[in-house]
Amino acid sequence: MLTDLAAIRHPMPVATEHDETTSESFDIAVAGVEEARAAFVESLDAAWEASGPGFDPLLATIEDLVAVKKDADTQIRLLLAYGRAYVAPRPYTLETLGQAADLSPSGASRAFGADEVVEVGDRTGLRPPAAKIEDYDPQDPRLGQASRTRCTWGGGDRNNRCPTHPKYTVTDKSGTRWACCDDHLPRYLASRPTR
Ligand SMILES: [Zn+2]
């Protein structure tokens, strides 16, 4: 079964007559696939040994691929949020982003929200241009989950969070609301467009 799974998971390259690749680079590609298959079988063998007789290599392979797919979906949602909320002065349109993501414009819009915008800020250290400031209300349903408990505008990731209690709600140009403390308010002001 393991070699069957390896063959499905790592298919051999197909040589066509119109293919411009030389036979040498084709051989290299074949060698690469053989190597990948061997590593795949080896890691399944190791997992089998570690988990005992209850281990199912077919189900484990499917679960692995589902995890890869979920991770790719997460990254796509974050990249959509980035293109929409962080690229200035002209954010990508939902049409353009949707085309790249194989989504309708409204589907692209639904694919991310405040949590994704905040997550992009955490991963990159960036903050989108701000547009509005209000008093902080942790009960505000328009706030993302992270912004209900901490200063998300202040940067730093969730392991290195701003320790100061939020006092303001900052709204960026994409309409996403952030929690902001007194210390980080100057950064909001600095990011305001000058006239
Ligand atoms: Zn702060």
Quick: pLDDT tens for 150-166: 998 886 666 788 888 89
Residue 193 has pLDDT above 70, yes or no: no
| Encoded tokens for 144 | 């993302």
- Rounded to the nearest integer, the mean pLDDT of the chain is 87
| 134 CA distance to ligand 1 middle (Å) | 15
Q: Measure 54 CA to ligand 1 centroid, in angstroms.
A: 49
Better-scored residue on pLDDT, 108 or 155:
108
**Interatomic CA distance for residues 195 and 193, integer angstroms:** 7
What per-residue confidence (pLDDT) applies to 80? Answer: 95
Q: How far is the CA of 179 from the centre of ligand 1 (A)?
A: 8
Q: Out of 107-111, 113-117, 182-186, which region has the weakest mean confidence (pLDDT)?
A: 182-186
Distance 7 CA to ligand 1 centre (A): 52
Per-residue pLDDT for 83 more than 80?
A: yes
> Which token pair is 95?
């049409």
| Residue ranges near ligand 1 (ion) with Cβ within 5 Å | 151, 154, 162, 164, 181, 184
The reported pLDDT for the residue numbered 181 is 86
CA of 178 to the centre of ligand 1 (A): 11
Give the residue-averaged pLDDT of 112-135.
83
* Other CB atoms within 10 Å distance of the CB of residue 42: 12
CA distance 43 to 86: 40
pLDDT at 195: 45
The pLDDT value recorded for residue 94 is 92
What band does 19 get if pLDDT is binned at 50, 70 and 90? low
Given this model, what pLDDT does residue 70 score? 97
What is the 158 CA–ligand 1 centroid distance (Å)? 12
Alpha-carbon distance of 130 to 82, in angstroms, equals: 15
Give CA separation, 185 vs 85, 91, 179, in Å: 19, 24, 10
CA of 162 from ligand 1 middle (Å) equals 5
In terms of Cβ atoms closer than 10 Å to its own Cβ (0-12, 13-18, 19+), residue 11 is exposed
Alpha carbon of 156 to ligand 1 centroid (Å): 9
pLDDT in tens, 21-75: 678 888 899 999 999 999 999 999 999 999 988 899 999 999 999 999 999 999 9
The Å distance, Cα 160 to ligand 1 centre, comes to 11
State percent of the chain over pLDDT 70.
Answer: 90
Residue 194 has pLDDT above 90, yes or no: no
Tokens of 147: 């912004």
Given this model, what pLDDT does residue 3 score?
93
The Å distance, Cα 165 to ligand 1 centre, comes to 7
Single out the residue of 170, 163, 115 nearest to residue 137, CA to CA.
170
Instruction: Please provide the DSSP assignment of the chain as one string.
Output: -HHHHHHHHSPPPPP-TT--S-HHHHHHHHHHHHHHHHHHHHHHHHHHHHH-TT--HHHHHHHHHHHHHHHHHHHHHHHHHHHHHTS-SSPPPHHHHHHHHT--HHHHHHT--HHHHHHHHHHH---PPEEEEEE--TT-TTS-TGGGTSBSTT---TTS-B-SPP-EEEEETTS-EEEE-TTTHHHHHHTSPP-
Of 128 and 31, more confident: 31
